[in-house]
Structure 1
């Protein structure tokens, strides 16, 4: 992919093209600027329109963006790497990319610190019942309420990828027991204990969980992982925090659990359906905190992502293994 000075690139033949879709309300042009800073010897082009995307990807070895449809893929004749700006890649035409011999990487690790903080923040809110304090403040009630302690509780983290590990790391010092859930428990992990996704060990972990954190990808295994049987197994004083994907939890079962005091509370950054309809009962539960799938927002998003992609541009040149490769 390296060009010589005799073959200097111009705007029609960039080394890297950044597609136009932004995320978290931050202009994707900032992503392009971060890449230019890290790749001063390469041409990084930002495509502002659909037409510019089709024109620029034609000769670009590396394309970076949130999504890539089949039509744009047809125009990307020179593409060797699609650097997806999301951790999840299920929305991409992966089979077609693989057939074309195009490598695909994701943004795994970019969200670790911010989502880890989001989770711990929600744990502390429920531990100290800060949401009840906010409610009484709105009503101008000077009336005491009882709280809990996070210390000595058991926190089960489902998914020990970059986000799950970040949660566990940030729980150090709070005096909690941690249980990790992963596909290959024999590999261990940063938690005090590691179990698989099913069977007696998983059930036993749920039965002694005070705070259940879902930080796993949505797969055939995890779809509907937490339904009425699992919610019945959790202690009624448990709290569920979901920063994974909405369908990991059976929404109707969650409504049943919250409405019937089978669960102390839930903090949902993702829902099923999403967005949550305005007339959905979850909006009105005082023990359910909802954020609009924004735990992934961080001012460092494009900076961290550019670190990965710039490194992979160099690795692609040198024939080295790519970071975060999924195809």
Structure 2
């Protein structure tokens, strides 16, 4: 790559979910046939190509690479979360930052629904009896008429609610600004009294919120004492939203019926951790976000924003913009 040649879109080399990053670059090219899309496959290529690039997309942007970017105007983060980025420096330089919000909605929504049905019909019990070749009936539950509380009503929380709609459940939503409403029958804030009341009514508690000062440790010992003992926890948010020691105590004390954990604290979960040993805990290795459509949906966002810049001549009003 020449120092003087700037592609319309530069794709950085780090991929995700085990899918080659070339698939992401190809998906962008398919949507922008009249634009140049370059993929930097080595650290040296990244440092050289980013010098004159104005529109860059990737999973992360290290500060030393940002230092080499002399003309950067837009960084399209390929993750929904942007807390790992040098946001203050990007803002100081006037770089617009977008994220991948909405990309995970369908697949994580399906993951949550699968986890709920897993515990509703107690498939883990059936699998255990199958391994033992034991033909013996067991009690199951019914999702219809249950109360599902969804903490976080962003793209993922809304996708969960959409997929729950045909099952005849009552659902509560928890968000920072309950006055905005949402797709649930009732929306509350994080005030302790309202949240405690929701926990006491909850059959399935879905965590789909970002990790913030408000949500860190949201499910502590007091929360597990308050929640209905027949409730199931589904965490597709971040591990530290749940206090792990309190969760272990709750499981040992039968304060909850079970838990489906796609995220843990710590993560990865150490081999010797007691959470591995509970028969009523389903653990997946931060896998809810995996989808073969990941790069395709990302490319839709990038192509839309390139088109907006082409039409307007600036980076105002970009889709999924999170920083000026």
TM interval, short-chain normalised: over 0.9
Confirm whether residue 325 of structure 1 aligns to residue 318 of structure 2.
no
Give the match for residue 40 of structure 1.
33
State the partner residue of 1:52. Answer: 45
Partner of 1:93: 86
1:102-113 alignment, distance < 5 Å = 102-113=95-106
Shift of 1:197: 1.1
Under a length normalisation based on structure 1, what TM-score does the superposition of the two structures give?
0.96
What do residues 216-243 of structure 1 show as CA deviations (whole Å, max 9, x unaligned)?
0011111111111111110111000000
**Structure 1 unmatched runs, 5+:** 1-8
Equivalence for 2:245 = 252
Which residue in 2 is equivalent to 1:176?
169
Structure 2 residue 274 is the aligned partner of structure 1 residue 278: no
Asked if the contact 1:10–1:43 (Cα under 8 Å) also holds between the matched residues in 2, the reply is: no
Distance in 2 between the 1:29 and 1:177 partners?
A: 43
Q: Is the 8 A contact 1:156 1:179 kept in 2?
A: yes
d(CA) in 1 for partners of 2:156, 2:262: 14
Is residue 222 of structure 2 the alignment partner of residue 235 of structure 1?
Answer: no
Residues 160-309 of structure 1: pairs in structure 2 closer than 5 A: 160-309=153-302
Closer, same or farther: CA 11–240 of 1 in aligned 2, 3 Å: farther
Deviations 1:63-114 (A, max 9, x none): 1000001000011111100000000000000000001100000000000000
Q: Is the 8 A contact 2:3 2:52 kept in 1?
A: no
Partner Cα distance (1:91, 1:154) in 2:
35
- Shift, 1:41, TM fit: 1.2
- C-alpha offsets along residues 140-197 of structure 1, whole Å, 9 cap, x if unaligned? 2111110000110000000000000000000011010000000000111000000001
Please give the alpha-carbon distance, in whole angstroms, between the structure 1 residues aligned to 2:30 and 2:73: 22
Residue 13 of structure 1: SS of its match in structure 2? coil
Question: For the Cα contact (< 8 Å) 1:57–1:75, is it kept in 2?
Answer: yes
RMSD between superposed Cα atoms in Å:
1.2
TM-score in terms of structure 2 length:
0.97
Aligned residue for 1:78? 71
Contact 2:3–2:48 (CA<8 Å) still a contact in 1?
no
Contact 2:59/2:79 (8 A) holds in 1: yes
Q: Deviations over 1:230-269 (max 9, x none)?
A: 1111011100000000000000000000111111000000
Q: Secondary structure at the match of 1:203?
A: helix
Secondary structure of 1:267 counterpart: strand
- Please give the alpha-carbon distance, in whole angstroms, between the structure 2 residues aligned to 1:305 and 1:156: 29
Q: Identify the range of structure 1 (9-18 vs 267-276) with the bigger mean alpha-carbon deviation.
A: 9-18
- Report the Cα offset of residue 323 of structure 1: 0.7
Residue of structure 2 aligned with 1:126, choices 95, 119, 123: 119
Residue 315 (structure 1) shift: 1.6
Shift of 1:199: 2.5
SS at match of 1:310: helix
